[in-house]
Structure 1
Amino acid sequence: MNNTLNVSISVEKTVNLIYEEVVNCSITGELLDKYEINSLDNKKCIVMVFDKHYYRAGNRLTLTVIIDSLEDVTRVHYISGGGGKGLFNFDGGASESFANIVPEVLKEYII
C-alpha cells in the first residue's frame, strides 16, 4: 500500500479537509494531538494523531497523518493501526478503512 501522496493544495487546506472528515463527519473520531514545525523559509510540517472507535475491530484505532511542504508540493504520509485482536492482530479491515479516509478526502487534489 502506497501511503504517501502529493497534493496540489496547501498544508492548511489539507489539514482542514482531513480534520473535517475524521472529526466532524464522524461520531467517534477525535484529534488526539497536533504538532506543527515551521522553518525560517516558511515551510512547515504538521503531525496529527486521530483516534476513532470501530465496531468491526471492537476497539479504537489510531490514524497518524504527516503533512509537509518541505519540497515543491504538499506531501501527505499516513498510517493507521491499533485495531488488532489476538495473536494475529485481526481487525476485519478496520485499520485499512480508517487509513483510506486520507486518499478519499484528497482524491481530487492528488498529483
Structure 2
Amino acid sequence: MSTRTMSAHGDLNQVAETITREMQKSAISCQLVDSVKRDEGNCSSMLLVFEKYFMRASNRASLSLMLNQIGDYVTADMIGSGGGQGPLFKFSWGAEDSFVSTAVTILSDLGFRDDQVGK
C-alpha cells in the first residue's frame, strides 16, 4: 500500500477533470472505475477510483483518490493498493507506488504540494 496527501488552492471540479483525463492518458490499461461527489454547504468531496494493469507484475492495482474542497482550498488524499502477489506474504513489485507517483506528478503540475498537516 502507498499513500500520499497533497493540497493547493483550486477548484475541485477542474482538478478532478484534469486528473481523470491525465491518469487515463498515462497508460492504455488505466481507467476510472467509478466516482462519487458530495456537496454540503461550502464543502465538496469527490472520490475517484482508478484501476490499472501492470504487465511487469501481471496484476492490477487500484488508486483511490479523495478530493476535498473547503472554500478555494483542495486537498487530495491518495491510496494505492492491490499491487502485490501471494496470499500470505503480499509480495509487492511496487505497482501501487508507481500508480500513486503518476497522480502525484499530475497534481504537482497543477500546483499541489505535499501536505504536512498532521505529520
Find the counterpart in structure 1 of residue 117 from structure 2: none
The number of residue pairs the alignment matches comes to 110
TM-score normalised to the size of structure 1? Answer: 0.88
Structure 2 stretches lacking a partner, 5+ long = 114-119
- In structure 2, what is the equivalent of residue 100 of structure 1? 101
Moved more, 81-90 or 47-56: 81-90
Partner of 1:62: 62
Q: CA–CA distance in 2 between the matches of 1:102 and 1:53?
A: 16
Cα distance 1:52–1:2, how it changes in 2: closer, same or farther (>3 A)?
A: closer
Residue 110, structure 1, aligned to residue 83, structure 2: no
Contact kept, 8 Å, 2:23 with 2:103, in 1: the verdict is no
2:75 alignment counterpart: 75
Other structure's SS at 2:103 match: helix
Identity value in percent: 26
* 1:44–1:69 Cα contact (<8 Å) kept: yes
Q: Deviation per CA, 1:23-71, whole angstroms, max 9, x where unpaired?
A: 13320011111000011x2421000111010112211110000001136
**Structure with a larger share of its residues in strand:** 2
Tell me the equivalent position of 2:27. 26
d(CA) in 1 for partners of 2:62, 2:23? 11
| Runs of 4+ with deviation above 4 angstroms | none
Residue aligned with 1:27, SS: coil
Q: Which amino acid aligns with 1:26?
A: A
Instruction: Tell me the equivalent position of 1:48.
Output: 48
Q: In angstroms, what is the RMSD of aligned CA positions? A: 1.8
